[in-house]
Amino acid sequence: MSESDIFSRARRDVSFPDWMASVQAQVEAALARSLPPAEAIPGRLHQAMRYTSLNGGKRVRPLLAFAAGELTAATPQRLEVVASAIELIHSYSLVHDDLPSMDNDVLRRGRPTCHVEYDEATALLVGDSLQSLAFELLAREDFGDPTGQLEMVRLLARAGGSCGMAGGQSIDLESVGRNLNQPELELMHALKTGALIRAAVMLGALCGTALSVRQTSSLDRFAKRAGLLFQVVDDILDCTASTATLGKTAGKDAAAEKPTYVSLMGLERAREFAADLRKQALDSLTIFGERSQRLVELTDFIAQRKF
Amino acid sequence: MSESDIFSRARRDVSFPDWMASVQAQVEAALARSLPPAEAIPGRLHQAMRYTSLNGGKRVRPLLAFAAGELTAATPQRLEVVASAIELIHSYSLVHDDLPSMDNDVLRRGRPTCHVEYDEATALLVGDSLQSLAFELLAREDFGDPTGQLEMVRLLARAGGSCGMAGGQSIDLESVGRNLNQPELELMHALKTGALIRAAVMLGALCGTALSVRQTSSLDRFAKRAGLLFQVVDDILDCTASTATLGKTAGKDAAAEKPTYVSLMGLERAREFAADLRKQALDSLTIFGERSQRLVELTDFIAQRKF
């Protein structure tokens, strides 16, 4: 049993909430180290980057990367880099999506959004800079796997770009006030949130030993179902939870006449759909045996979250 | 003499205007191939990405990359990838800088800016997607130099990020209506335009054989001087040329009370400063002998440009 195996096994003895808290703390510390110091010129931009990226969020994508890393005995050092890069892409997308020309939102993670706390121009540059920093991190010299890192850069760039997250946001904007059918809604979400969630899972696994073709395709199937599950639960919470619980404006999708799973299929059927997706996601993990424990727990966490 | 040397020598027999036109055409074609087709979903976003990135611009950064590639006998296939990636970063920065919350400009390369032709939200996503695409390109599997490519990803990410181009734009925004002194103005420009110009030169050279430490430091010195020269000439043109000639709004820096070299030192001294920078840039190239012919010609082109 390798040192990394022993480490993984020891980690699996930790309770899920403790594991989650320790990954969140590790990612928080890694982000704090990776972001330029607040006093580095230009100070206002760096302060805003830190305001946006630190002290907040459930860190679902980093958790997925770390959980997927358990499948391939990935080291925490590498997972930390990959998780930070993915979280920076996620953070940049939130800052830009909240801008007045997009979703025009004033509250995020219980605090004023970046353009409210600073200004629109700064928020624009914060998003741009966080994206650059994500790729700078992934390309770190001390990571020590140039071929693997380049594959990660390609995956993350595609997941974030016009055929991924940014493309999903574009379809979302075009869909306001229109009636999307379920395949159209699924395409939008597969891009808008699904692509980055899938990248988180894949990049986490890429930090360790190679998976077989069959394992890769099972993991990919898991990642797609988990991504969609995350979105369906998000839609349910947007219509059932309060702004205080969510830390962001509740009911805004309905108010903006945005199509959601709840508006498409009603609350009850949306809940059933979430239950189906959870089951499909978990079924895709059986091939990995006990190594998939964290991914199983995380899937349940995503399915049951209340905020 | 290697095949690549013969190719380079043959290229040096071509006149500068012909060389420039051929590089511009090659980069245009490479960009057209690299950008997603206009009909790919989401169509509006992809059309806007192509509208923004094709059919326009002097392609100064790609020209610098190709000219620097002559120093190291780089292949046109690699230079094309690197030049496209840099130009995509430049294009994204123009789209975002033109937004109402930044410079609020309506004209670029003689055409309506992206947010005027499409809308603000689309322009935001265009910029975000072009940045992702730049890194996806640099990480291409068929480039065949993983360690070199990762170094390029790091260089380009730093050049574009908060300690480079985006940081310079942030300082620029903070400086409106303030009196910057020359060192402050130089720092702003070293970041805002200099960083990406420097990256273009360095990435072009990295496409070929390795440079010595002394050659690298000479080339870096050249790149810094050339970047500053480009900016000083830009400031002179902003105050002396017409909107029709520039293809973008003339006199806008003065109108916005932005500090420029002309406002700082007056037109005559700004012209002298440009002449000094040109000489310093050319001096840094002597170490490279005849291989630097295109960089010499390009420096003169930058110094003498009228648009």
Rg of chain A taking only CA atoms, in angstroms: 19
Q: Tell me the CA distances in angstroms from A195 to A137, A162, A189, one per residue in order.
A: 20, 11, 8
Lowest mean pLDDT among A231-240, B61-70, B198-207: A231-240
Residue A259: half-sphere exposure toward Cβ, Cα within 13 Å: 22
Q: Using CA atoms, how far apart are residues A282 and A295, in angstroms rounded to an integer?
A: 8
Using pLDDT thresholds of 50, 70 and 90, give the confidence band for residue B251: low
A107-108 and A111-112 as β-strands: parallel, antiparallel, unpaired? antiparallel
The pLDDT value recorded for residue A264 is: 87
> What's the average model confidence in pLDDT over B156-162?
98
Which residues in chain B have their CB less than 8 angstroms from residue A39's CB?
Answer: none
Mean pLDDT of all residues in B283-305: 96
Strand partners, A112: A107
- Is A141's CB within 8 Å of B154's CB? yes
Chain A within 8 Å of B263 (Cβ-Cβ)? no
Is B140 an 8 Å CB contact of chain A? yes
Its pTM stands at 0.93
Range of lowest pLDDT (A3-7, A17-21, B107-111, B167-171): A3-7
Q: Is the ipTM of this complex over 0.90?
A: yes
Q: How far, in Å, CA of B88 to CA of B43, rounded? A: 19
Kindly list the residues from chain A whose CB atom is less than 8 angstroms away from the CB atom of residue B119: 101
Q: Residue B39 corresponds to which tokens in the numbers above?
A: 């009909």
d(CA A65, CA B117): 39
**8 Å CB contact of B154 and A140:** yes
Query: Is A154's CB within 8 Å of B133's CB?
Result: no
Instruction: Please name the residues in contact with B300: beta carbons below 8 A apart, sequence gap of 6 or more.
Output: B278
- pLDDT for residue B185: 85
Q: How far is B85 from chain A (nearest CA, A)?
A: 12
Distance from CA of B269 to the nearest CA of A (A): 28
- Domain B3-304 fold: Farnesyl Diphosphate Synthase (1.10.600)
Alpha-carbon distance of A27 to A137, in angstroms, equals 13
User: What is the mean pLDDT of the segment spanning B220-242?
Assistant: 91
Which phi and psi angles does A11 have, rounded to 5°?
-65, -35
Determine how many CB atoms are found less than 10 A away from the CB of residue B15: 9
Segment A132-160, tens digit of pLDDT: 999 999 999 999 999 999 999 999 999 99
Q: Is B154 on the interface with A (CB under 8 A)?
A: yes
